[in-house]
Amino acid sequence: MSGIRHLYVHIPFCASRCDYCDFVSLTGRADQHSRYVEALLAELELERERPTPELETVYLGGGTPSYLEPEALRRLLEGLPAAGELSVEANPETVTTGLAELLVEAGVNRVSLGAQSFQPRLLEVLGRHAGPDDIHRAIEILREAGVDNISLDLLYGIPGQSRDDLGADLDQALALAPEHLSCYELEAKPGTRFAHAHGAELPEQADAVEDHLELVVERLTASGYRWYETANFARFEPERDLRSVHNLGYWRGHDYLGIGIGAVSTAGDLRWRNAPSLSRYLQALETGKEPPRETEALDEATKLRERLMLGLRLDEPVAIAEVEPVLDRGALTRLSDLGLVKVEGGLMTLSTRGRMLGGAVCAELIVWPDETLAA
């Protein structure tokens, strides 16, 4: 199997653990950063047959990639294959001139900065360490170092966040003129300290949050951003397409290789996920073995359902013929009559309203396995 054009590299280390986060992350461990990087490069070497020689994208996500010890980060970036888009996630408080220069020298051409909010009160609810000044300073440093593609992550639905609070966050984000914005509804992930502390509040404020996505879309599209994916916005520029090429790969159903603890890969009919244990990962790769992982065979219908659900998150169409075997034609007519889906020339896209409702519309459009059996 070969021909993978997207590489995801998971960096699990963070300065501290945010209460709402359920990503694979470990605090501190500076003494293990170099060992982890060597293990990542060893895993990549084991998988060398899979990626194409010239990758389209490499994405360092976390955790907090910008928290890696600088020498370990440099070694990693030097050891990774070249790619057209090389993105790194960063937390504002970790951005120094030294880090920004290291990234630019190593060819990083896109930085995704986890701002979340600009309001100290809300950042405190989230347990974030960076304040609004850190976010401003991080952007200034990155710009000065020459990073000309910055994405900002924002959260809405934070307990105690009003519509005006969200409007103020959007204004502050827009004033920084990022090339890209990701705006996520805060989820209480099961098992997190946040779910324990605030899990009951989120459903209570569901009504208040209902129109938050609407506000996000209105404000950002009016400011010259393309709403190209449910939670993602790219500034319109005549010369550059500022959408995340890496994430477009996922949404378009391309194969991808993920390395590191907890990383997921999909290639053809197979999906595998590395175990989240750091010690087992290091032990395996230091003795030349594949890391412990779980592998799942993907049947055609599962792949098509994913293609439909992910593809309809985008503002570009999905070919009806491509997903026909899992498409509920009756639901398509019904939803199209309701103005939630647009059908034209064998292609379908969700209308603005359909995109606001998102997952619920896709769930209606899909024939699920029990329905197939019943039919």
Q: Which does 255 bind (CB under 5 to 8 A by kind): ligand SF4, ligand SAM, none?
A: none
In the chain, % helix, strand, coil (3-state, to 5) comes to: 45, 25, 35
**Token pair 């280390």 in the structure block, residue:** 13
> In 3-state terms, what secondary structure has residue 269?
coil
Least distance (Å) from ligand SF4 to the CB of residue 17? Answer: 5
Nearer to ligand SAM by C-beta: 88 or 312? 88
* Chosen residue from 6, 25, 161, 242 binding ligand SF4 by CB under 6 A: 25
For ligand SAM, the closer of residues 37 and 323 by Cβ is 37
Q: How crowded is the C-beta side of 170, counted as CA atoms within 13 Å?
A: 25
The residue (of 64 and 117) whose beta carbon lies closer to ligand SF4 is 64
Residue 291 gets which letter from DSSP? P
Assess 342 for contact with ligand SF4 (CB under 6 A): no
Cβ neighbours of 329 (radius 10 Å): 11
* Cβ proximity of 181 and 173 under 8 Å: yes
# residues contacting ligand SF4 (CB under 6 A)? 11
Q: Which is nearer to ligand SF4, 124 or 299 (CB)?
A: 124
- Contacting ligand SF4 within 73-132 (CB under 6 A): 91, 114
317 within 8 A of 326, measured Cβ to Cβ: no
Tell the smallest beta-carbon distance from residue 65 to ligand SAM (Å). 8
Identify the helix (H) or strand (E) that includes residue 90: strand 83-90
Give the DSSP letter of residue 299. Answer: P
The residue range among 56-64, 165-173, 263-271, 333-341 that interacts with ligand SF4, by the rule CB under 6 A, is 56-64
Q: Compute, in degrees rounded to 10, the torsion defined by CA atoms 42, 47, 53, 56.
A: -100
Cβ proximity of 34 and 70 under 8 Å:
no
Closest CA to 301 of 366, 360, 253: 366
Return the H-helix or E-strand segment holding 115. strand 110-116
Q: Of the two residues 38 and 185, which places its CB atom closer to ligand SAM in the complex?
A: 185
Interface residue with ligand SF4 among 39, 40, 63, 155 (CB under 6 A) is 63
- Please say which residue, 20 or 251, places its beta carbon nearer to ligand SF4: 20
Amino acid letter, residue 50? R
Binding interface with ligand SAM (CB under 6 A): 20-21, 23, 61-62, 64, 89, 91, 114, 116, 153, 155, 184, 186-187, 189
Q: Out of 4, 7, 14, 138, which residue is the one contacting ligand SF4 (CB under 6 A)?
A: 14
Alpha helices in the chain (DSSP H): 33-46, 70-79, 97-105, 120-126, 132-145, 163-175, 193-198, 201-204, 206-209, 212-222, 245-251, 278-286, 300-311, 320-323, 329-337, 352-357, 359-365, 369-374
Q: Out of 7, 9, 11, 18, which residue is the one contacting ligand SF4 (CB under 6 A)?
A: 18
144-155 residues labelled b (16+ CB within 10 A) or e (exposed): ebebebbbbbbb
Report if residue 23 touches ligand SF4, rule: CB under 6 A.
Answer: yes
Stretch that binds ligand SF4, among 20-28, 197-205, 255-263, 359-367 (CB under 6 A): 20-28
Question: Which partner from the list ligand SAM, ligand SF4, none does 119 bind, CB cut-off 5 to 8 Å by kind?
Answer: none
> Closer to ligand SAM at the Cβ: 89 or 255?
89
**Interacting span for ligand SF4 (CB under 6 A) from 13-21, 197-205, 206-214, 348-356:** 13-21
By CB under 6 A, residue 64 contacts ligand SF4: yes
From the list ligand SAM, ligand SF4, none, pick the one residue 116 interacts with, judged by a Cβ distance below 5 to 8 Å according to partner type: ligand SAM
Closest by CA to 186, choosing from 151, 167, 212, is: 212
Cβ distance to ligand SAM smaller for residue 184 or 272 = 184
Minimum distance from CB of 342 to ligand SAM (Å)? 28
Give the residue nearest to ligand SAM (CB): 114
Any residues with CB less than 8 A from the CB of 338 and at least 6 apart, and which? none
Q: Which does 17 bind (CB under 5 to 8 A by kind): ligand SAM, ligand SF4, none?
A: ligand SF4
What gap in Å lies between CA 9 and CA 88, rounded to an integer? 10
Residues that bind ligand SF4 (CB under 6 A): 14, 17-18, 21, 23, 25, 62-64, 91, 114
